[in-house]
Amino acid sequence: MKMIGKLLKLVGKVVLTLLAFLFVCVLLYFGKLKFEEVQAHREIKDVQAEMKPLSAEYIPENIFILSIGEAAHGCKEMQELKLSVFKEMVEKRGFTAFALEADYGECAEINRFIQGGEGSAEEMVQKFAFPIYHTKEMAELISWMREWNASAPEEKKVRFYGFDMQDPEGSYAFLKEYSLSHKLTSEEEFSKNLDCIKGENFSLNEKNAGEVIAFLDSLKEKAEKNPEEAQQETGNTADEQEAKEKQALEDNQDGIDKQAFKEHLDFLMELNTVRQAAETWLSKENSSVLRDRDMEENVKKILEIEQKIGSGKLVVSAHDGHIQKENPIYNSMGVLLTKDFGEAYYAIGTDVWKVTDNIKVLGEAKRTVQSFVSVDPLAAQARFAKGKQYALFFSGITDEKSKVYQLIHTPMEMLQLGEGYSFLMRFFPNRSYRVKSAPVQRYDSVIYLYEGNPIELLEKK
């Protein structure tokens, strides 16, 4: 018995020693994180001389795709920036389109409201599949676009697009109405193939995805006029025919109905994004890689539409991770747009020193409000800016010996918070909600905020 007692005492001492060691390690680890925060929060007076307000005058004139990022989806100020940036580019640079990280179908319905359709902006935000957009800030963006169009001349009217494909339910009603009214299929055949994407009955999966794709392709073939047929009928080449259609749209001649033409383009785009959603069930490729490639393809097609019916210039809004021009992990949307358009693509990132974020709980159907610190020293300087917000436009910072030039070329932690919260993120911030990179490598400019507040979701009436 004495031997057992001694053994138990020894085991107890070992356990206590291990626990004490673990406690010290945890204190040291979190102490290190706190030290990093304190260091990053120091005042850097040189930055204050480079602080600029958000203004189109600092943005090159030769761009036709401008992206505005979000460091956190659930931050109210990040959503307010969408409207601020879009207004600048519409009023001062003649941009005519806004494209959002949301599905094309639901945004097409919102666009019809913006063009004078029935409803209210508060009702329109409920069309979004992503609840992060059910906000007063998004309603204000939609309202501003509708109000702008009420007095703007035809060539300056603005349009609203989506370039995502994760929630194809929003396309069901329009695809059905268009297909039946243009006699592309029967109601029975349509329901048989596409009821799997219908609202609450959504049941798209790997078993029916192939059939859905085949049906969508058949609809597209019937709806899309063959360029060779157009040439035979008009005597024009395909390029000449496209140029003639564009001029007819501008002049409203030759019997071209702009609304019908836009509906035709919407139909083809909604077919495509639903097809992309179906392809995700069949592809063996990494879902993030596939999604970003599809989004880039959709942005390019939206640009083509705007080149036909608008200014050919659009603002794109998405998470910082999608719009950034460099990504060490995979070719995200911004990386692909940079490769395709070069300097004609311009990326504005965002960062915030401390954000209180409305974020979805990982793996659960509920949301929570949590606070995070970026430890970005440049975001910390926003406390000295007017309204605790400022922008750095990197092309104007050219003195290699200056403190600010060196800072923007130095890898630093920046906030990049997604839509999924777990308490484990608190233990590994630099691997969960922060990314380390030189700002100038990822963006052309960054808008810095000192504090961010959580979005408030509007209840459906």
User: What is the bridge-based pairing of β-strands 159-164 and 445-452?
Assistant: unpaired
Residue 205 has which token pair?
């999966």
For the chain, the helix, strand and coil percentages under 3-state DSSP, each to the nearest 5: 55, 15, 25
Question: What are the sequence ranges of the domains in the chain?
Answer: 47-95+314-322+342-461, 102-295+302-312
| Nearest-angstrom CA–CA distance, 139 and 61 | 29
Measured CA angle at 255 (ends 251, 259), to 5 deg: 75
Q: Which of 98, 158, 157 is nearest to 133 (CA)?
A: 98
CATH of 47-95+314-322+342-461 given 3.40.50.10480, 3.40.640.10, 3.40.1660.10, 2.30.30.760: 3.40.1660.10
Enter the DSSP assignment of 285: S
Q: Give how far the C-alpha of residue 323 lies from the chain's centroid of Cα atoms, to the nearest Å.
A: 7
- Are 135 and 79 in contact by the 8 Å Cβ rule? The answer is yes
Q: What is the pLDDT along the chain (461 residues), one digit of tens a residue?
A: 666 666 666 666 666 666 665 665 555 555 555 556 666 789 999 999 999 999 999 999 999 999 999 999 999 999 999 999 999 999 999 999 999 999 999 999 999 999 999 999 999 999 999 999 999 999 999 999 999 999 999 999 999 999 999 999 999 999 999 999 999 999 999 999 999 999 878 999 999 999 999 999 999 999 886 444 433 433 444 455 455 545 544 554 444 467 788 888 899 999 999 999 999 999 999 999 999 999 999 999 999 999 999 999 999 999 999 999 999 889 999 999 999 999 999 999 999 999 999 999 998 989 999 999 999 999 999 999 999 999 999 999 999 999 999 999 999 999 999 999 999 998 888 888 999 999 999 999 999 999 999 999 998 87
From residue 276, how far is each of 133, 215, 290, 298 by CA, in Å?
A: 22, 13, 9, 10
User: What is the bridge-based pairing of β-strands 412-415 and 434-437?
Assistant: antiparallel
